[in-house]
Amino acid sequence: MTPVGLQHYLVLAAVLFSAGLCTMVVKRNAIGILIGAELLLNAANINLLAFSKYSAGTLDGAILALFVIVLAAAEVAIALAIFLNFYSRFASVDVDRGDQMRG
Amino acid sequence: MDNLDTIVFYFLAALALVGAMGILVSRNIVRTAMWLLATLVAAAGLYFLLGAAFVGAIQLIVYAGGTLVLIIFGVMLTAKNPNVSYTPRTAEIVLGVVLCVLLAGALIFVLHGTAWPNNVKSVEEVKRMSQAQRDLVGPNNPDATESTGRRFLGDYLVPFEVLSLVLLAVLIGAAYLGRPKVPVIGAPRGVNPPPGQEGPRK
């Protein structure tokens, strides 16, 4: 087996990113779309730490990854509050029904 | 040791990919959240493998412990209506899958054609550095967590403090957006809007 290097992590993160984007495109449940966004952020974090270890050799990747984790938590909190309002208005979290919101 | 690293990497990568595919194909939103747990734990394992033990621990505590619980609460609060189906149209599925397979192919093609620079310092080089130089180094740094803390209160101090303001804004914003819209029966004073000021009931 070839030793694991930067390429392995980058390919894994690319596939995770594509899966997350596909989830965001395909799902109609707003919470499913939110979960897809989490997948995207995790793929980005894997990239940051892989570059930190194998290419740049600095600590900045780990620090940026910590910022991403905190901002993802903040994003989920706000998004869920919006979805709860959406649910109390439409009795579902189907994003296709968002086109009924005018003004 | 290298061999063990390789085996662990492939195990965690497989777990992350299975979780991602599970998220993609699962129709039940609770199962989707559980597959997300698998992916998050696998990603935390990969962070440990990449030598970022602190980030891995934070991933487990904040993401798997906090964010995922929040998502599951969201699922429980919005899944009461059994008549709603979230099945996407076939054309949407085909379009999304084609788009994402193309994206993955393009990304992997570009990754294999790129030579990345390698500026990683060896263990001996890191040992000979001064403390200030060592704080900049991620891999092969024996006390990387200590350096992370020093960087957060050093040259990352302004982003760190801005982040705490962002969290305060999120706390207030989420509480404002999530306030009850209809009067809560038996609520203490101040929770319900005063009589005559209730919003329109839908």
A-chain residues near B101 (CB < 8 A): 18
Please write the tens of the pLDDT for every residue from A13-72: 999 999 999 999 999 889 999 999 999 999 999 999 999 988 888 889 999 999 999 999
Q: Poorest-confidence range of A50-59, A60-69, B9-18, B182-191?
A: B182-191
Residue A83, classed as helix, strand or coil, is: helix
Q: What pLDDT sits at residue A58? A: 87
Please state whether B190 falls in left (phi above 0), alpha (psi between -120 and 50) or beta: left
Q: How far apart are CA B4 and CA B166, in angstroms?
A: 41
**ipTM entry:** 0.91
Closest in B6, B96, B163 to A3, CB measured: B6
The answer as to whether B34 is a domain residue is: yes
CB contact under 8 A, A25 and B101: no
Please write the tens of the pLDDT for every residue from B31-72: 999 999 999 999 999 999 998 899 999 999 999 889 999 999
The answer as to whether B129 is a domain residue is: yes
Number of domains in chain B: 2
Together in a domain, B17 and B70: yes
Q: Closest residue of B to A20, CA-based?
A: B20
The answer as to whether B93 is a domain residue is: no
Together in a domain, B1 and B68: yes
Together in a domain, B2 and B77: yes
B-chain residues near A6 (CB < 8 A): 116
Identify the H or E element spanning A13. Answer: helix A6-26
Q: What pLDDT sits at residue B136? A: 82
B-chain residues near A82 (CB < 8 A): 177
The answer as to whether B161 is a domain residue is: yes
The answer as to whether B15 is a domain residue is: yes
CB contact under 8 A, A11 and B108: yes
Q: Render B26-91 in DSSP notation, one character per residue.
A: --SHHHHHHHHHHHHHHHHHHHHHTT-HHHHHHIIIIIIIIIHHHHHHHHHHH---TT---PPPHH
Output b/e per residue, A39-69; b: 16+ Cβ within 10 A.
Answer: bbbbbbbbbbbbbbbbbbbbbbbbbbbbbbb
Please write the tens of the pLDDT for every residue from B108-146: 999 988 888 888 888 788 778 887 788 888 777 778 888
B27-to-A27, B32, B33 alpha-carbon distances in Å: 9, 8, 11
- Identify the CATH number of the domain defined by range A7-92: 1.10.287.3510
Angle, in degrees to the nearest 10, between helices A60-90 and B157-177: 10
Together in a domain, B77 and B142: no
Asked if A101 has any chain B CB less than 8 Å from its own CB, the reply is no
The answer as to whether B115 is a domain residue is: no
- Shortest Cα–Cα distance, B199 to chain A (Å): 13
The answer as to whether B114 is a domain residue is: no
Q: What pLDDT sits at residue A10? A: 93
Q: How far is CA B85 from the centre of its chain?
A: 27
Together in a domain, B69 and B11: yes
Q: What pLDDT sits at residue A19? A: 95
Token digits of residue A69? 């984790």
What are the extents of the domains in chain A?
7-92
Mean pLDDT confidence for B13-36: 92
Identify the domain containing residue B56 by its residue range.
1-83
Asked if A47 has any chain B CB less than 8 Å from its own CB, the reply is no
Closest in B23, B71, B148 to A23, CB measured: B23
CB contact under 8 A, B55 and A54: no
Q: What pLDDT sits at residue B82? A: 67
Q: What pLDDT sits at residue B202? A: 44
The answer as to whether B109 is a domain residue is: no
CB contact under 8 A, B52 and A55: no
Together in a domain, B74 and B137: no
